[in-house]
């Protein structure tokens, strides 16, 4: 009743092409942004900000990057964490060696470095597909992390291999408290999500989806396979690189190459599987799910007074079971469930 499209006509293609065509959606989005920007920093505790909201946003960005590569362009990748690592360590080195470099620019440069690595390791995708490509991306994952561990220059000759992220200062304003970091991360993620959505609904996105669905036909109608695939790797790695930099600078503070291990790559893959492969909203939903689940399990374990080893094993089991559950029940993930919910809402309170 409240949520319906009846009466909302589009009289131009520009209007038809909006990201949120339904008025109620736009209102909801503005309300959510208002809450996120104004209410949350005021009301949320530093714990919620630092341990839940900031990682949620950062992982959403990484999941978005992986979704671009795996969901939209169809190139299965298990090397997400490696690109995040490149972004983090590249940003670190840029800030370290170029005095006075603006922090945001350093993040962009970190992302670009990750993009270059992504293009290099994406070259095999021109010949290899499917699981084989996934196995090849494992090479990326292990090799990149090894490089970061073994090349002392990259960790500034630190004996333990750990780097400490420099404080974020933009135009004299220091982002050192959780709520300031949160707002910075929110801004970055919101802008990049908008850019991603724009790309996806334009020719670039169509070229990716064409290559994913049937690459021989895509080639026949004029898409250049190499350019499309490498661009997917580049853009995806850029997003993961920026996410990795934020992971180090706005979340962990001190970070070592091993923090970007295969386990992290799998976590992000799980985020897009559960959230919805090939969906911007799905990246966010999946990230929220995966970030909140351990917290929830911890709470349950505490209330049942289970030892931590049991809790961590239960976490593994619940993760695994949920993946299987989602793949059986709704292979398109939470995003599809959301869509179905909205469609039901359009009709509510009528049954059909």
- Contact residues toward another protein (CB under 8 A) are 13-14, 17, 76, 124, 127-132, 135-136, 138-139, 142-143, 146, 149-150, 195-196, 198-199, 202-204, 206-207, 209-210, 212-214, 216-224, 231, 235, 262, 266, 269-270, 273, 278, 309-310, 313-324, 327-328, 331
- The distance of closest approach from Cβ of residue 172 to another protein in the complex, given in angstroms and rounded to an integer, is 28
User: Tokens 């008025």 map to which residue?
Assistant: 23
Taking the complex as a whole, how short is the minimal distance between the CB of residue 107 and another protein, in angstroms?
A: 17
Maximum alpha-carbon separation in the chain: 67
**Total residue count of the chain as it appears in this document:** 352
Complex with another protein: residue 248 or 273, whichever CB lies closer: 273
Task: Return the number of the residue (34 or 321) whose C-beta is nearest another protein.
Answer: 321
Q: Considering the complex, what minimum distance in angstroms separates the CB of residue 138 from another protein?
A: 5
**Which one, 122 or 178, has the nearer CB to another protein?**
122
181 vs 267, which CB is nearer to another protein? 267
Comparing CB distances to another protein, the nearer of 43 and 216 is 216
């Amino acid at each position: 009743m409240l949520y319906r499209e009846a009466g909302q006509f589009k009289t131009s293609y520009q209007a038809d092409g909006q990201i949120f065509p339904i008025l109620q959606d736009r209102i909801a989005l503005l309300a959510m942004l208002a809450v996120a920007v104004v209410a949350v920093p005021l009301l949320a505790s530093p714990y919620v900000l630092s341990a839940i909201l900031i990682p949620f946003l950062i992982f959403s960005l990484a999941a978005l990057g992986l979704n671009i590569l795996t969901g939209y362009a169809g190139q299965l990748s298990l090397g997400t964490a490696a690109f995040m690592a490149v972004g983090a360590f590249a940003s670190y080195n840029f800030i370290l060696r170029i005095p006075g470099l603006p922090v945001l620019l350093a993040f962009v440069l970190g992302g670009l470095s990750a993009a270059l690595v992504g293009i290099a390791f994406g070259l095999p995708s021109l010949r290899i597909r499917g699981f084989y490509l996934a196995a090849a991306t494992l090479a990326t994952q292990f090799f990149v992390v090894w490089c970061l561990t073994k090349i002392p220059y990259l960790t500034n000759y630190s004996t333990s291999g750990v780097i400490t992220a420099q404080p974020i200062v933009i135009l004299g304003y220091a982002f050192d408290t959780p709520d300031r970091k949160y707002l910075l991360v929110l801004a970055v993620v919101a802008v990049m999500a908008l850019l991603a959505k724009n790309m996806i609904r334009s020719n670039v996105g169509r070229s990716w989806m064409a290559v994913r669905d049937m690459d021989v036909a895509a080639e026949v109608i004029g898409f250049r396979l190499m350019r499309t695939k490498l661009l997917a790797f580049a853009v995806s790695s850029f997003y993961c690189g920026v996410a990795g930099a934020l992971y180090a600078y706005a979340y962990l503070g001190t970070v070592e190459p091993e923090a970007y291990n295969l386990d992290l790559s799998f976590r992000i893959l799980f985020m897009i599987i559960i959230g919805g492969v090939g969906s911007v909203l799905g990246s966010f939903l999946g990230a929220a799910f995966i970030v909140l689940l351990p917290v929830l399990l911890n709470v349950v374990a505490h209330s049942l007074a289970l030892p931590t080893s049991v809790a961590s094993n239960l976490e593994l089991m619940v993760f695994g079971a949920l993946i299987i559950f989602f793949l059986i029940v709704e292979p398109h993930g939470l995003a599809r469930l959301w869509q179905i919910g909205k469609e039901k809402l359009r009709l509510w309170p009528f049954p059909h």
